[in-house]
């Protein structure tokens, strides 16, 4: 992957599906024989603003424990995001609980929280923890969207959604996330849009951006 205009954005320090952490240690230690990474990690200074990767609404916020930390889930439905499929995005290890209400509308690239190390202290990463963003994306099939909207909806939609590589969101021209697995290599060369100086989305036509601003 590269960034639009070859911008130098915060890179992925541990990709989706990886069996190792950012420091090269094995996720299988204590994680079971098939432990692989369920999202992407970005190593970030404590307090880095985190941005909504697409337009959507707040689905849930909370304070998880060890491994999870403070988190926010955003819901991205096609009618709001302009993207071809529905998905949930979960941002973890936030410095503080996200000051957002369920159902609040978030714009593409809007700051939703600050990065931190909650949920990482005392485990593998030691007493200092590891300040980073863990971003998980789960796609929602069209016939399950009703489970995700409305006042009665709850975390059943998480069980009924499918974990995917978050980079799938940036692949142009997909009709469904499943198509990404069958793409020829050249179409997997993702060029990721971002929010640059002055909070400008680059390119302006982008419907999905990197979760942190780029210089």
Binding residues for Zn ion, per CB under 5 A?
41, 134
What's the CA gap between 212 and 50, in Å, rounded? Answer: 5
* Shortest separation between residue 206's beta carbon and Zn ion, angstroms: 24
Q: To 5 degrees, how large is the angle CA 8–CA 12–CA 13?
A: 120
Cβ closest to Zn ion, residue 3 vs residue 125: 125
Cβ closest to Zn ion, residue 38 vs residue 196: 38
* Shortest separation between residue 134's beta carbon and Zn ion, angstroms: 3
DSSP output for 6-58:
G--PPPPSB-TT-SB-TTS-BTTTTT-TT---SSEEEE--TT-EEE-SSSEEE
* Shortest separation between residue 122's beta carbon and Zn ion, angstroms: 16
* Shortest separation between residue 93's beta carbon and Zn ion, angstroms: 8
Cβ closest to Zn ion, residue 36 vs residue 153: 36
Cβ closest to Zn ion, residue 76 vs residue 134: 134
94 prior amide bond cis, ω within 30: no
Ranked by CB distance to Zn ion, the top (closest) residue is 134
């Amino acid at each position: 992957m590269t960034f639009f205009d070859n911008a130098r954005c915060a890179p992925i320090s541990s990709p989706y599906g990886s069996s190792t952490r950012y420091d090269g240690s094995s996720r299988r230690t204590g994680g079971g024989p098939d432990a692989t990474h369920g999202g992407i990690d970005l190593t970030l200074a404590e307090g880095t603003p985190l941005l909504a990767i697409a337009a959507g609404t707040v689905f849930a916020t909370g304070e998880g424990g060890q491994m999870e930390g403070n988190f926010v889930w955003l819901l991205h439905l096609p009618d709001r995001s302009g993207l071809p499929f529905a998905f949930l995005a979960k941002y973890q290890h936030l410095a503080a609980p996200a000051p957002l209400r369920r159902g609040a509308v978030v714009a593409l690239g809007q700051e939703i929280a600050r990065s931190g190390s909650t949920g990482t202290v005392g485990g593998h990463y030691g007493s200092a923890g590891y300040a980073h963003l863990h971003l998980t994306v789960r796609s929602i099939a069209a016939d399950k969207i009703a489970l995700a909207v409305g006042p009665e909806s709850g975390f059943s939609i998480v069980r009924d959604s499918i974990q995917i590589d978050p980079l799938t969101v940036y692949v142009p021209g997909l009709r469904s996330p499943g198509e990404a697995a069958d793409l020829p290599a050249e179409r997997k060369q993702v060029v990721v849009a971002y929010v640059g100086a002055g909070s400008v989305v680059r390119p302006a036509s982008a419907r999905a951006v990197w979760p942190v601003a780029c210089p």
